[in-house]
Amino acid sequence: MPSKPKNPHLPFGDQQTAPWYGKNILSVKQFCRNDLEYIFSVAHEMRTMVERVGTFNLLKGKILANLFYEPSTRTSSSFMAAMERLGGAVIPISEVKFSSVAKGESLPDTVRTLGCYADVIVLRHPEIGAAALAAKYAGKPVINAGDGAGEHPTQALLDTFTIREELGRLDNLNVTMLGDLKYGRTVHSLARLLTQFNGIKLNYVSPDILRMPPDVMEEVAAKGLPQSEHSTLDKVLPETDVLYVTRVQRERFEDPQAYEKVKNVFVVNPAVMKAAGKTMIVLHPLPRVTEISLDFDDDPRAAYFRQMEYGLYVRMALLAMVLGKA
């Protein structure tokens, strides 16, 4: 019988020479275009495998420590599902108040402890730079699942993968980011990641107090991407290929009155979307509150629930990569 062709991205057996083996994933600044194309190729194969067989034992015997200092539904559960679909096991710590953190244990000590039990650590933390700090002490690969208002690299990767799967390209796109661009770590990471592609134009639509931070805009400008800031969607929506909507995050506001003034400034609904193209897509990192109306969910351009599923495949790919299996 002829031998089966080798899978180019999912070799079985440890591969300590694999390019991402043992590496931390802390920032989108780590990735070049070739890296992204490789990640997305692996993620696409993960999608195919899940659709065909559901689960497989690529990471059998491996353990993930899922350490979340902030609430999460999608990121936490998708990393756990990713590990279990790959045949691995999970140590879930979704409420640190039930861990030794409640006794005053430091982040370095916590990740040192988990590094004794797990092969990889996924960390969400409210402080910018926490993932980088954890990586210094863990002794095992650390994946940043969001550090305060800093970055959310795996979200940016799944967002970009979603665009690729939905629109079939990552070049020559008009991308509009809407809502809380100041505290929204997802848009900070996505804007940086999109600088790896050609023909990208970025439009930022937000209340004045929630504008994209200058340091992010400076980084994007240094890569030569055109950017524009707006207070309404009117001018940019008709030409938009990807509308990326964000929630105004109440938990980031010290002044409740300031939050109340801006929480409902932008609402995406069927009436607003009449001005948009028929083949564009709407993304949202979720959770949403009122910024996208429920009656838009059935519109084929509403890709945010499909976006969640794509996140599973990207996180499966990342786990396999840092553990030397892809």
164 and 141 inside one domain:
no
**What six digits make up the tokens of 84?**
């279990």
Q: What is the CATH number of the domain that holds 266?
A: 3.40.50.1370
174 and 137 inside one domain:
no
258 and 315 inside one domain:
no
Longest dimension (CA), the chain: 72
Classify residue 19: in a domain, yes or no: no
At residue 305, φ and ψ (nearest 5 deg) are: -80, -35
> 251-277, pLDDT tens digit by residue?
666 676 766 677 778 899 999 999 999
143 and 249 inside one domain:
no
User: What pTM was estimated for this model as a whole?
Assistant: 0.89
Q: How far apart are CA 119 and CA 251, in angstroms?
A: 32
145 and 219 inside one domain:
no
> 272-302, pLDDT tens digit by residue?
999 999 999 999 999 898 999 999 999 999 9
Q: How far apart are CA 193 and CA 174, in angstroms?
A: 14
**What six digits make up the tokens of 15?**
């591969």
Classify residue 247: in a domain, yes or no: yes
Element (H, E) at 145: strand 142-147
Tokens 């899940």 sit on residue = 50
177 and 214 inside one domain:
yes
Contact 180, 174 (CB under 8 A): no
For the chain, which ranges sit under pLDDT 70?
A: 1-14, 96-103, 249-254, 256, 258-260
131 and 32 inside one domain:
yes
Provide the edge-to-edge strand list for the sheet that holds 63-68: 89-93, 63-68, 120-125, 142-147
Contact 204, 227 (CB under 8 A): yes
Q: Report the amino acid identity of residue 280.
A: M
pLDDT at 1: 44
pLDDT at 66: 96
232 and 130 inside one domain:
no
72 and 186 inside one domain:
no
Q: How far apart are CA 310 and CA 295, in angstroms?
A: 23
Question: Whole domain around residue 158: which residue ranges?
Answer: 153-308
Residues 6+ apart with CB under 8 A from 255: none
Q: How far apart are CA 71 and CA 35, in angstroms?
A: 30
Q: How far apart are CA 326 and CA 320, in angstroms?
A: 5
Angle, CA 25 vertex, CA 51 and CA 16 arms, to 5°: 80
Nearest of 204, 232, 137, 247 to residue 123 by alpha carbon = 137
Contact 231, 178 (CB under 8 A): no
Q: How many domains does the chain have?
A: 2
295 and 235 inside one domain:
yes
